[in-house]
Structure 1
Amino acid sequence: MSTGPNRIFDDFAKLMTDAAGAAQGLRQEAETAFRAQAERFMNSMDLVKREEFEAVREMAVKAREENDALAAKIAELEAKLAAKKG
C-alpha cells in the first residue's frame, strides 16, 4: 500500500482519469443529443437530402433532353407534312 505523497499522487491521477472518462462520456452524450435535435429540426423544415436532390435533378435533366429530342422530331415531321402539302 502506498503512503504519503505517492498515495496522494496516485489518488489524484485516478481522479483525473475518472474525470476524463466522465467528460468523454458527457461529450458523446451531448453530440448524440445535438444530432437528434438537429435531425428533428431538419425534418420539421421538410428539407431533402443531397442524394435525393441529385437523383431528382438527374431525372429532370434526362426529361429535358427527351423533351428536346421530341420537339426536334415534331419539327421534322411538321416540315415533312408541310412539304407534302405544298
Structure 2
Amino acid sequence: MMSDGRNRIFDELGRLATDAAGVARGVREEIETMVRSQMERVLRDFDLVQREEFEAAREMAIKAREENVRLSERVAALEAKHQSTAGSAVGDSSDPAI
C-alpha cells in the first residue's frame, strides 16, 4: 500500500514537472516573439533594407552597368562609323553639294 502512495506522489511530481516545462516553453516562445518584434521595429526605425531587397537592387545595378558598357561600345562604334563616312563624303567629288 505504501508504494501506491509513493507512485501517486511521483506521478504528480512528474505531471507537475511536465506542466512546468510546458509553461516555461510557452514563456520562452512569447519572449522570443516579443524580442523579434522589437528588433524588427528597431531595424525599421534605422531605415535599413532587407537582404532580399538589397540583393534585388544589386542585381539591377549589375545589369544596368553591363547595359551601359554595351551601349557605350555601340555608341563608340557608331561614332567611328559616322566619322569614317563623314570623312569619305568630304573627299567625294561626285557629291552634288560640293
TM-score by length of structure 2 reads 0.77
Aligned to 1:38: 39
Q: Sequence identity of aligned pairs in percent?
A: 58
Aligned to 1:17: 18
Helix, strand or coil for the counterpart of 1:19? helix
- The runs of at least 4 consecutive aligned structure 1 residues that moved more than 4 Å come to none
Correspondence 1:1-80 to 2 at 5 A: 4-80=5-81
Q: Which has the higher contact order (CA 8 A, sep 6+)?
A: 2
For 1:55 and 1:19, locate their aligned partners in 2 and report how far apart those are by CA, in whole Å: 46
- Structure (1 or 2) with the larger CA radius of gyration: 2
Amino acid in the other structure paired with 2:75: I
The Cα of 1:3 is off from its aligned counterpart by 5.1
Structure 1: stretches of 5+ with no match in the other structure = none
Structure 2: stretches of 5+ with no match in the other structure = 88-98
The total of aligned residue pairs comes to 85
Amino acid in the other structure paired with 1:23: A
For 1:15 and 1:85, locate their aligned partners in 2 and report how far apart those are by CA, in whole Å: 95
For 2:78 and 2:11, locate their aligned partners in 1 and report how far apart those are by CA, in whole Å: 92
